[in-house]
Amino acid sequence: MIKTITATLLVLSLFMTGCTQETQNKIGRSIQNWTGTNGVLDIYMGGKLTKRFIKIDKLTTATSTEGSISRNYRYGYGYLDINENYIVDKGEKKLYFEISNFSTPYIFYENPKN
């Protein structure tokens, strides 16, 4: 049993060292997308928190329809946390959102309350 685990880990480590950094990132993102996250997106304007989205499973970088060129925005789905308590309360709906790379600052992190 221990030999099998050791051999598996050795094969995985050799595979990962042969991959480019981008390939390793894609593998990591696919694992994270599969397992899901409990992300929070805070959007700031003028140094103040203006919007908070919670229960976001991922932020996706948009790509062009004719190729693999990244666009200048990210998008996702999350609940608009109106009272900023990190909990989905009655009346808080799941919304689609987009964030431009040229827009106001934002922070994406895992929900500290869950």
What is d(CA 39, CA 28) in angstroms, rounded to the nearest whole number? 16
H helices then E strands: how many in the chain?
Answer: 2, 6
Q: What is the pLDDT of residue 34?
A: 45
Strand ranges, E, within 1-114: 39-45, 48-56, 60-63, 70-80, 94-100, 106-110
Cα torsion angle, 24, 27, 29, 31, sign: negative
106 phi, psi to nearest 5 deg: -145, 160
Global pTM exceeds 0.95: no
Exposure string over 51-75, b if 16+ CB within 10 A, otherwise e: bbbbbbebbeeeeeeeeeeeeeebe
Per-residue pLDDT of the chain (114 residues; tens, 9 = 90+): 676 766 665 555 656 566 666 666 666 555 544 445 689 999 999 889 999 999 998 888 887 777 777 888 888 999 999 999 999 999 999 999 998 888 778 888 888 887
36 in Cβ contact with 45 (< 8 Å): no
Domain ranges (residues) in the chain: 1-35, 36-114
- Residues, the chain: 114
Phi/psi-derived region of residue 90, left when phi > 0, alpha when psi is between -120 and 50, beta in every other case: beta
Residue 35 has a pLDDT of: 46
